[in-house]
Structure formats: structure tokens, C-alpha cells
Amino acid sequence: MIIDTHVHLDDARYLEDFEAVMLRAREAGVERFIIPGAHPSTLERAVALCEEHENVYFAVGVHPYDLEGMEGLDFEHYAAHPKCVAIGECGMDYFRLEGSDEEKTTEKKRQEEAFRVQIRMAKKVKKPLIVHIRDASHDSKMILLSEGAGEVGGVLHCYNADDELLSLANEGFYFGIGGVLTFSNAKKLVKVLPKIPKEKLLIETDGPYLTPHPYRGQRNEPFYTKLVAQKMSDVLGMPLEDVEALTSRNAHTLFAGLIEG
């Protein structure tokens, strides 16, 4: 069994053939799915999908690119839902920072404030974090440590292969590995992967984004987790079935008592 720990099934790009996407996933052995929160506008669809499908779960959170949607979001309302397994995806992303130094500083502070709010909410409701980090490893790590995020732990979604973040394994954090691992330019991630404690590895798609090789450019979907698992098997020198069992067991551990079965 494979658990796709990060897939945006509430994205409009799955509307027309959602059931076919789910059927292909089941045929590939993907049996559990977590929809991360990104923009509050899609939360109701995420909840509806979880209520319609027993093997689909969701998280409530706001992506650092979508902070304008955070005001008024009732985190505790969604976190109380029995299918809500985490807070996030939340975090820091400096990739698109533009403007003057002052404008960039303002945006960083805005992201930091929202990140801290969501970390504190995770601690309040006692659910793990789904963390998004891009071009902001040091600041993100310092925020997680200063807020005591290890109390709830979480997953570093689409782990960026930065060695600085590896020590977060000791703070209860897992490492989400997706299609990027299969890219020809992912040499750093391939090199770093064996350094990650095996009991901290998770599989994700980030669908509809980051489709694995050789399907880059197409819409990603949970079916393609098989390609990620196979690449992990090759890099780690582990049988494919062991990788699938390991990462599924890790997902159950992180989301203890939240994912059924």
C-alpha cells in the first residue's frame, strides 16, 4: 500500500475525471490520500471529498502565496472535523520575492507571522504540521524551533534537499518525497536521500504539480506515486514493496490515530 500524503485533489484540474483518477490510484495500490490546505476557497470541496470517500483526509492551512485568504478562516472549526489530520500547508517561500529590499522584508515578515500563527494552532489542536519551505530553509527552521513545533512534529513537504533541515528529524519531522526525486537535475536530493532516517520518509505527489519523469509537463496524480516509490527503491537499495510498507507505516505513525486502517 502507498499513502499519498500530499495531493491537491480539491484542485479544479481533477473535476472532470475525479473518479477515474481515484480508480487508477487504487489499481496502483494507493489507498490513502491527504489533501493539504492551500487556499481557503477550496476547503469546502476538500471537506466534501473527505466525507464522500472514506480513504481521503484533509488538512486546514494557508500556503504562503495565499495569505490574503487567511483572514477570517476558522481554523478550529475545520480542525475539529474527524477527517482533518494536520495543519498546513504553511511555511515560508522566498522564491517569488520581488520589489525593493523594504518590500521583500515586509513580505518575509508577513509570511513569518502567518507561519507562527499556524504552528501555534497546530499545538493548540494537537495535530502535526504540513510545512512548505522554498528558498527559506534557515528562517523556516529557526521559526519551527523557536515555536517549539517539535511538540506536534509534521512533514517537510517536497523536501528541498537542504542539509540544514535534516536535523529536524530529531524534532519529530518527516520528509515528503515526490516526483522531483525522478528529475534528471535532482542530483542533490538523490545524494541526500540516504541521509534521511528511513523511519522519517513519506511519499507524496503534490498533484497536480511536479509530475515524475517521464511524464513531466502532464497533470500529476496519485497513480504516479509508484514512480516515486520505485526511484526511492533504486536509490536506497531497498525492495519496492519494503519502500511502500515503510512509507505507509511512517504516515500512520505521523498521523497517529487520524488515518484509519
| pLDDT, tens digit (0-9, with 9 covering 90-100), for 42-85 | 999 999 999 999 999 999 999 999 998 798 899 999 999 999 99
Q: What is the DSSP letter of 77?
A: H
Are 84 and 78 in contact, with CB atoms under 8 Å apart? yes
SS3 content of the chain, % helix, strand, coil (to 5): 50, 15, 35
pLDDT surpasses 90 at 209: yes
pLDDT at 257: 63
pLDDT surpasses 70 at 260: no
pLDDT surpasses 80 at 15: yes
Angle at 137 between CA 133 and CA 142, to 5 degrees: 110
Mean per-residue pLDDT for 155-177? 97
pLDDT at 261: 54
Name the least confident of 31-40, 190-199, 234-243, 250-259.
250-259
Are 100 and 123 in contact, with CB atoms under 8 Å apart? no
Map grid coordinates 542539509 to a residue. Answer: 163
pLDDT surpasses 90 at 148: yes
Query: What is the rounded distance in angstroms from the CA atom of residue 41 to the CA atom of residue 12?
Result: 11
Name the amino acid, one letter, at 256.
A
Query: What is the rounded distance in angstroms from the CA atom of residue 217 to the CA atom of residue 198?
Result: 30
Query: What is the rounded distance in angstroms from the CA atom of residue 235 to the CA atom of residue 257?
Result: 31
pLDDT at 72: 87
Options 3.20.20.140, 3.40.50.620, 3.30.70.1290, 3.30.70.100; CATH for 2-254 is 3.20.20.140
Query: In terms of Cα–Cα distance, which of 257, 240, 189 is closest to 29?
Result: 240
pLDDT at 256: 81
pLDDT surpasses 90 at 258: no
pLDDT surpasses 90 at 102: yes
CA gyration radius, the chain:
17
Element at 175 (helix H, strand E)? strand 173-177
pLDDT at 112: 98
The full set of domain ranges for the chain reads 2-254
CA end-to-end span of the chain, whole Å? 11
pLDDT surpasses 80 at 91: yes
Query: What is the rounded distance in angstroms from the CA atom of residue 115 to the CA atom of residue 25?
Result: 32
pLDDT surpasses 80 at 197: yes
Beta carbons within 8 Å of 248's beta carbon, 6+ residues apart: 1, 2, 3, 32
Element at 31 (helix H, strand E)? strand 30-35
pLDDT surpasses 60 at 167: yes
pLDDT mean across residues, the chain: 96
